[in-house]
Structure 1
Amino acid sequence: MSVLRRLGMGASVLVLAVLLSACASPDREKPGARRADVLARLGAPHSTTALDGNRERLLYSTLPAGRQVFHLDFDATGRLERVEQVLTFARFSGIALDHWSRADVERAFGPPMLVERVARFDGDVWTYRFMDDYEPRLAHIHIDRAGTVRQLLFTDDQPPGDDRDF
């Protein structure tokens, strides 16, 4: 088999895999779906959290490249109760400064897109990309060395190559 033909077959397989994976998305899951079926379609979640009443939450994230994090909540029988996309301005605004911990942030939003340090803050800044209505935004959560959220800032997310003067 020629090299070009093998490359063509490899590209076809890759395209098919991308198309099939595009069909599986947390926001397409319907209430009542069985946990095992959801896992078979979506794969392993980023994290699992126990909820009251023997319920369970699975967290699926599209970060770092995407702008969505989904909570899939299951009842005690393993049936999907609800799907919620949580990277929203309202959800970020609900962070209780000086009360939330690093663990609370990760449980609510999953891993950040970026972790960095800045000169005027003694701790880490966790950055999440999200959409605020139709505007791309960034949420910057400042977590001190003790692991407590101290500050929350929002900025516009300027796309690469967008050199508009502001």
Structure 2
Amino acid sequence: MNAGRRFALGSALVAAAWLAGCASEPQRVPAGASRAEVLQQLGAPTAIYPLPTGERLQYSRQPAGFAVNNVDLDASGRVVAVTQELDENRFGQIRIDQWRVADVLRTFGRPEEVSRVWSFQGEVWQWRYRQLNTPRLLYIYIDPQGVVRRYHVGDDLRFVPPDSRS
């Protein structure tokens, strides 16, 4: 095979791989797509939740990734919204003293990590995300009764070189 044909074949393979990657990107699912089309494009969701007017297919990249995409379907199984939830502009939807574990899971999915701190009686759930390409963490504090008591965000220092920390 000559060099021109090898280059053309290589370019075609790179383009195919790029398109395959785009095809599995939830943000590219068009409104009105059917449930079957979503599953064909994205594969099996990491979780499925009932909604008052349909169903939520959740595609989480936790614990290694930085995104949780919710694909909301109406009662007829058509896409009405696709939302990347791990964005600081969306954290205001968290309802302190109102949300329960089911609300947190339905919105953000399973956390990257669950821990405890001495200053809070309950669990601290943690998700990784990026804000303007900066690795960050969302922490949600859930009391023993399963109620959200507070949340905050912080830098993910696991990705900051030790010599650049102040």
Is the TM value for this pair above 0.5? yes
Residues 33-76 of structure 1, C-alpha deviations (whole Å, 9 max, x = no match):
111121122222122222233x2211110111111111111122
Structure 1 ranges of 4+ moved more than 4 A? 16-22
Alignment RMSD: 2.2
Return closer, same or farther for 1:73/1:161 CA change in 2, 3 Å cut-off. closer
Q: TM-score, structure 1 length as denominator?
A: 0.80
Unaligned runs of 5+ in 1: 1-15
Identity of aligned residues (%): 42
Return closer, same or farther for 1:159/1:23 CA change in 2, 3 Å cut-off. farther
Question: Matched residues in 2 for 1:63 and 1:19: separation?
Answer: 23
Deviation for aligned residue 1:117: 1.1
Deviation for aligned residue 1:87: 0.7
Question: Matched residues in 2 for 1:134 and 1:165: separation?
Answer: 17
Q: TM-score, structure 2 length as denominator?
A: 0.80
Residue of structure 1 in register with 2:65 after alignment: 66
Unaligned runs of 5+ in 2: 1-15
Deviation for aligned residue 1:20: 4.4
3-state DSSP class of the match of 2:123? strand
Residue of structure 2 in register with 1:38 after alignment: 38
Count residues with an aligned counterpart. 150
Structure (1 or 2) with the greater helix fraction: 2
Residues 64-92 of structure 1, C-alpha deviations (whole Å, 9 max, x = no match):
11111111111222221221111111222
